[in-house]
Structures are given as C-alpha cells and as structure tokens.
Amino acid sequence: MSGRILELRVHGVSNTPPAETLGLTPEPGGEPPQPRLVAGGPVTGFYRSATASPADPIVVEAYSWGQLTSGARTARDVERALWTLLLPFTLANVALHARPGIPADPTDERLASRPGITAWLIRLFCLTLTSTPVLALTGVGVDLIGWQCVDQTCLSRIPGPWEFLASPWWQQGGRALAVGLTVPLALIVVLGLVAWRTYQYEAVMPADPVDPPVPRMAAPVDADALPSQPVDEPAPVPQEPPGTLANPLEDPTFWCGEGQLRRAAVLHLCTGTVVAAAIPLGTIGVLDPPQGARAVLVWSTVALLAAVVAIALVAIGRPYLTRRSGATPLGPWSVAVTVLTLLGLAGTVLVLLLPDGAAGTPLAQLRPPAGCDATPLLPGCLEDRSLPGFDGTIAWLVTGQLLLLIAIGTTARSGRRGLAAPVTAALLIAVGTAWVHGWLPGVGSAPLQVWQLALPVLAVTVTGLMLPRIRPNGSKQPLGPYTDLAWRGRAPAVIAGFGWLLCLAYCTGLLYLVTDHLNGNVPPDGRPMVVTPAPTTWVGLSFAGALVALALVAARAVVLFQRLRRHEYGTLVAGGGQLSAHELRRARDVSAHRAVHRLVGEHALRLIGWYAGVLALLAALGCVAVLSPVHPNEMSTTGGTAVVRGIADVGDALLGWLPVAVAAIGLLVYRNDTVRRSVGVLWDVGTFWPRAAHPLAPPSYAERAVPELLTRTAGLLALTEHDPRRMDGIILSGHSQGTVLCTAVILQLPSRWRRRIWFLSYGCQLTRLYGRVFPAYFGPERLPVLTRALARPSGGTGWTNFWRDTDPLGWPVTAGERDVAVTDPEALHPSDGEVADPPIRSHSGYPEAAEFQRERSRVAWLLRRTVPSPRRGLG
C-alpha cells in the first residue's frame, strides 16, 4: 500500500456538484455517475468515484462545501436569501480584515498601534451601523406610527390591532410612543435570534483551541476501510513546540471565535436597544422637561443608557472582545451590560407611560391633529408635524459615520498621524455648533448655520486621505504589476463605505415603503398625512446620482473592454499566416475572454476606486444637505430646482423597492446558476472571513470548512502504515475560492504534515485580488509564508499554480511557487478527427488540461519518493 496518493479537490463558488468536481462524465444518453460519500455529511462532505479502488495509486476525492453558501435549492434558500439584507454588516466585517499591518500574532496588537486604532474605529463604525436600521425602525414605530399616525384611517392600514392608539388615553403624553417602540425592539429580537441560530452554523467540527498536547488524532471514517483487515490505532504523535507566527492565518484560534461572537453580539444588541430607547426618551425630556420624582426617573434612566454606551466604547478596544479564544463564557461584563440595558429600557417605558408634566406644552398639541384624512384643510394638517428632533438625530448620525469612515481611511493609510484631520474636523463641528446656537460662554450666536460650516470642515477632513502612506519596513517580495495595495491603502474605508451607503439605502427604502402604505392614495394637490424624515429625501437624490455614476463607470469599463479586445485580437491574428473566416471568428471569441481577463486583473479595482471617490463626494454633499433646513419637496417646481426635485423623486421611488430587489437577487443567487456564478464571487469573499468586527453579519462558511479540511487531511496522514485508509501524500487541489480555503488549511497544519502535502492551485486570486485587498494575509510580506511552509527537503516548493489568459479570475501568483500557463483553447479549429471546436474553458476545466495532468503525475512521483521502501530496511 506504500506510495498511495490522494488528490483532494476543493471547489470554488457556485456550489459545484461533487460529480463535476471529480470529473465524472456520463455515458452518451445516460445519467452522470453518482459519487459516494466517504466522510462528512449531506451539507459538507468528501466524495469519491463509485469505481475508486483502495489499490489505485492516485485517489481523487472532492470536498463539497457549497451548500454552506450557495444553497441546495430547498426552502432554506429563502432564509439564506434574506441574509443578503445583512450585506452592509458583511462589508463592515470584511473591512476589519482589509487593514494593512495586522501583526501575525494577535497578542502583539496594541490599541495605540496603526492596526489597533483602525480596528477600534471599524468596530465603533460597526456599532453605528447596527444602530442605523434600528434608528430607521424607530422612525417607523415611534415617529410614523406612534407620533404622526393619529387617525383611525391611518392606523387601520397597519397590520394588527393598532387602532387602539386613536383613543384619548393613548394620545396623551408619550404613551403611543411606548407602543411604537415595540417595532425597533422587534428588529433587535429578530437580529438576536438570527445571531443565536448562526453561532453553531459553521462550528460543527471541533473548533475549540486545546492547550494541552493531544495524545493522538482519531481516524476519520472512510468507506475504503476493509473490515476483514485489522486496522491499527495511530501511534501518539508528540506535539511540536509552538513557534513564532508569521501569518495571522497560522493562529490556532483564528477559526474559533464563538465566545468573541457572543460577547460582541451582546454589545451590538444592547447598543441598538439604547438607540431605540433614546429617541422617545430624548423627545419627552426636551418637550416636557421633567421635575421632581419624574426628573429622578428620567435622569436615572439616562445614566443607565449612557453607562451601556460607555462600556461598549471601552469593550470594543479590549482583548476581552478583540481576540478570539474559542467558546468562552460571556463573562460578567456582558451580564452587566444586559442588566443595565433592561433597566434603562424599563425606565424609558415607565417615563413614556406617565401623563404630561406641568413644565411643558401638552404633547398632543404638537402632534398632527386628528381628522386630517377626512378634512385636509383643518388647522395644522398642512404643516410638518413629524417627531421633533428626529431629523437632526439622523443628520448627525450620518455625518458622524462619514467622519468615522474618513478616520478609518486615514489611519489605515498613514497611521496615527492620519487621525489629525478627522479629529480636528470633529472638534471644529462641535465648536461651530455650539457657536451657532450661542452655547459658548461670553460669545454670541454666530451669523451662520451649521450646514454652512460643514462643507469646509469636511473638505479639510478629506485632506487626511492624501497624506503619505506607511510603507512596510521589511524587504518586499518582488511581485508582478497590479499587485500594489488596493486603493492606496484605503481599502478598509472603501469596503466599509459601500456597506454604509447600502445600509442607508435599505433604511430609506423601508421608510418610503411604510410611508406610502400609511398614506394610501394621496390626491395630486393634497398633502400626505404621514411624512418621512427630511434627510431621507436627500438620500434619494444621492441614490439617483450614484446610479448615474455607476452607469458612467460601466460605460468606461465597456470602452476599456473594447480596447483590450482589439489589442488581443490583433495579437492572435498577427503572425498566424492566412486565417480562414472560421479561425477569425474563433479569434474574436478568444480575444473577448482574454480582454475580460485583463479587464478584471488590471482595471477592476481602479474602476471601483473611481466609483468610490464619486460616492464619497456625493456622501459629503449629502451630509451638508441633511444638516441644512432645506427640504427637496419644498423646492420650486420651476427652473433648475424642478430638475433637482424630479431627480430626488425618481431616487425616492427606486429606493422604495431596493430592499425587495436585493432580496430577490439574493434568492436568485441560490436558485439560478448564472446569477450565482456572477454574484457568488463577491458573496463568498465576504462570508469567508470570521465575524470579528460585526457579529450580526451572515455566518462564515470557512469556520466549518477549514476545520473539516484540516481534520480530514491530518487524519489521513496520521494513520499507521498498514492502515488501508492511509495516504502517504496528499495533493490539495484548490480551484478559485478553494485555493483560499486550502491556503488556510496548510497554514494551520503542523510542519510534520506539510512535508507530505503538495498544493495545486488554479483559477487563483491570491495575488491580484486577495493580496491587494487583504495584504496582512496574502500580501507580498505574508504570502511567501505559504511558500516557505511548503518548502521541500530537496529544495523547491510544493506549490504549483495554473492559470489561463482567458480566465477572468485566475492569474500567476509569483510568490515563489511554480507557475504553469494552461493553453486555452487548445486550437482555433477542430483537430484529430474531432468535428467540434475545442472549447474555451475560461475559469473551469483545469483538471482536464494536459498541463495539469502532466504536473499531477510529476507531483505524485515526487511525493512517493519520500515514502520509506521495504528494500531499505525501513518497511
């Protein structure tokens, strides 16, 4: 049995079926042969051909993990489709892993360092991002329903028994606001349930780090085991002393973060509860100043809610939360935060249920009058009677998030010195606001408004993004072109910024949907009973501008594609002699694939960067607009303002359907192969990373896939020599996203097993995509760690990478491995008796290529050379 080699294939996105991964082809007119499951289960499993024999010198095995993300066309696909609504949280979580300069050992990261400050800012941004949909649902429940919806007609349009809010008792004080508070609290409960259900979604395999040495590794169950032949137990293997980590993926706790996830989820859910409670509590406290015992209750509640926020701000920068340490208990801080939140929420509800105090105007006089639906000309019906202060809360939250994003970008690029500009801008805005309102002692009110100060201050802040970036101290591994850091080191801000804008679009669309439903059919010359917050109309205008910018970027991509295709077509035709019309047509097809290959590899990140710059400008102008008292709906219907108002109306209409459209696309991702292959790349990149920044993001499939691959690989190698399941060498064969999974597995393997591993990667994005966006894991300083891990005793490295110039997602890696170019197509016309043109395989079919087959035979021979021979007296 000596010299038996296993090729373990790991597919990429799109949930490639095991039969296709194994290369099993059906007979003409027959069904494709079904592989057999040899380990794992129906969700994630290891498959071999039904005709595979234990005597085969090379056994091919496929690991299927696609059902963790791409679904199985079942009812659960709908649940996974709803995860696409959590895409903003996913992007914010990915931003944490895009930081440059992350230390290889997590214990070496300090809060005052560049990656430490950036991580704290990203986690703070994630807290505000969780608060954004909570604030939107608070607007729905507290503002639209509890404050503005006072008529029976309006309340009857709400599903459920909400008509009781029209009674006189509920119209007094803030009692209706207490009922409306149940809407955002329901969202928080749903998010909590989703987070709780996904704790164990990935971690089916053992994921807890074990400190004591493991005496032996249990053998995995394999269908190849022969019951008639005795199977020896594996001998105990001494544990190697831990060495210095050279890549964060070598950290044994990297995929073991259940305890960290639970603690972070508590902070996020409690912070969201505080935000939801603070809106009605602040409104009542300002409009109806408390006195006596009421004041004691109000200020005690404020202190409880403020304590929760203070603990959260401190906790997101402490090792208690930032380091992953397995399934550890929540701890006393999480219990304290939960208790304080519940007490603060109970105090808020009690304050809202109290009748009006004696110090302020009765709140019923500030709300819209009843009867506006039947008599629109009643006094007060034509006025904006939305919840006082809610517009300002949204405006300042959005402005603060923009400042946070700028701070993340400047810190990730330039270190601590990059904080100077955003911190200065925040101080200037605070001082300017106090000056405008006359709050500065001895200084009168400024003859300006806050929004007039915001634009120059934001302009000063953006200058921080232009500071020189920090360069690595060590020597750089020479790489090819287009391998520099994505977006000049600002990747965390760009990725988180896309998530932020998408979250704002979601929330605005939800507010528009609810408002339109509550208003019913509004006559053309009438005014709606319920109005959305003023900042949402500016979001609609910005959304329309973002769509125009997206169309321009797409047009630029088309121009680049045409230019690249003409160049590649000229290269194919030149020097080819006299080509037939058929060969010219085939040359056009091949040149199109080569053009896409170059467009993605050379220009995609640059185009995304341009689009991000346009969106940043629109976001800055939008923040200035939401701080202003101008409302787009109040603009004139003539002249240039009519154009602005028309664009805003179009953006508002599109935003209203955005959440539905995204959920529909998410459903198609799991039901339609074409959509899944197109969208699956970005989705699987985002859900690969563990939830270390945002605990409410969709679960990471790698937290299950990596431990399973690790257990399978090490288990087969650890078997005794006479065990029929034993493998003397394993070829980890990763395609596309599978190369990233294989990289994580190899870096987690002890060095004694790496000597018997060879890595075949194809359709690989480790340099052009992952290396540029995630430099701390796959950059020029960290990717060579994988090459050194696979170094052969006789010299060279156990890593071969295959690529095609027609593959849009596969490129050379140039990190010390052996790069092999695969010809695609094999020819422009049929040959050897074939009647069909050789296919253009692009991103698929690498194992069927002649170059792959030759290299695999060579690798199997090299791995067998290390197997002891009985003739040497070692058998």
pLDDT, one tens digit per residue, over 300-322 is 999 999 999 999 999 999 888 88
Q: How many helices (H) and strands (E) does the chain have?
A: 29, 8
Instruction: Return phi, psi of residue 783, to 5°.
Output: -65, -35
DSSP assignment letter at 868: -
The CA–CA distances, whole Å, from 72 to 613, 677, 698 equal: 38, 14, 17
**Where does residue 818 rank: exposed (0-12), middle (13-18), buried (19+ CB within 10 A)?**
middle
For position 795, what pLDDT does the model report? 80
For position 222, what pLDDT does the model report? 41
Inter-axis angle of helices 737-748 and 673-686, nearest 10: 30
| CB distance 731 to 703 below 8 Å | no
The CA–CA distances, whole Å, from 754 to 254, 706, 793 equal: 19, 16, 11
Rounded CA separation 114/507 (Å)? 32
| CB distance 53 to 664 below 8 Å | no
Rounded CA separation 704/202 (Å)? 4
Question: What residues contact 679, with CB distance under 8 A and at least 6 apart?
Answer: 665, 669
Mean pLDDT, the chain, integer? 83
Rounded CA separation 112/364 (Å)? 51
How wide is the angle at C-alpha 732 spanned by C-alphas 729 and 736, nearest 5°? 170
| CB distance 263 to 367 below 8 Å | no
Q: What is the pLDDT of residues 706-717, one digit of tens each?
A: 999 999 999 998
pLDDT band at 728; cut points 50, 70, 90: confident
Task: Give residue 346's identity as a one-letter amino acid code.
Answer: A
Write out the two tokens for 389. 């202060």
For position 440, what pLDDT does the model report? 84
What value does the mean pLDDT take over residues 256-274?
Answer: 92
| CB distance 450 to 757 below 8 Å | no
More confident residue, 534 or 342: 342
**Where does residue 397 rank: exposed (0-12), middle (13-18), buried (19+ CB within 10 A)?**
middle
| CB distance 276 to 181 below 8 Å | yes
Task: Give residue 49's identity as a one-letter amino acid code.
Answer: S
Q: What is the pLDDT of residues 399-431, one digit of tens each?
A: 999 999 999 999 999 999 999 999 998 898 888
Write out the two tokens for 228. 């008639």
Write out the two tokens for 622. 């939008």
Question: What residues contact 16, with CB distance under 8 A and at least 6 apart?
Answer: 64, 66, 735
Residue pointed to by tokens 């403020």: 306
Write out the two tokens for 352. 């809202």
Nearest alpha carbon to residue 374 among 513, 531, 523, 159: 523
Write out the two tokens for 399. 């402005």
For position 532, what pLDDT does the model report? 87
What value does the mean pLDDT take over residues 494-517?
Answer: 91
For position 668, what pLDDT does the model report? 66
Q: What is the pLDDT of residues 597-643, one digit of tens each?
A: 999 999 999 999 999 999 999 999 889 888 887 766 665 555 556 66
Q: What is the pLDDT of residues 173-220, one digit of tens each?
A: 889 999 999 999 999 999 998 888 777 654 444 333 333 333 333 333
How large a percentage of the chain has pLDDT more than 70?
83
Largest CA distance in the chain: 104
Rounded CA separation 597/482 (Å)? 13
* Residue 832 confidence (pLDDT) above 80: no
More confident residue, 674 or 752: 752
For position 386, what pLDDT does the model report? 84
Q: What is the DSSP string of 519-564?
A: H-S--TTS--SS---HHHHHHHHHHHHHHHHHHHHHHHHHHHHHHH
pLDDT band at 675; cut points 50, 70, 90: low
Residue 337 CA neighbour count, 13 Å, CB half: 25
Q: What is the pLDDT of residues 531-575, one digit of tens each?
A: 888 888 888 888 889 999 999 999 999 999 999 999 999 988 886
Torsion angle of C-alpha atoms 247, 250, 253, 254, degrees rounded to 10? 60
How wide is the angle at C-alpha 568 spanned by C-alphas 563 and 572, nearest 5°? 150
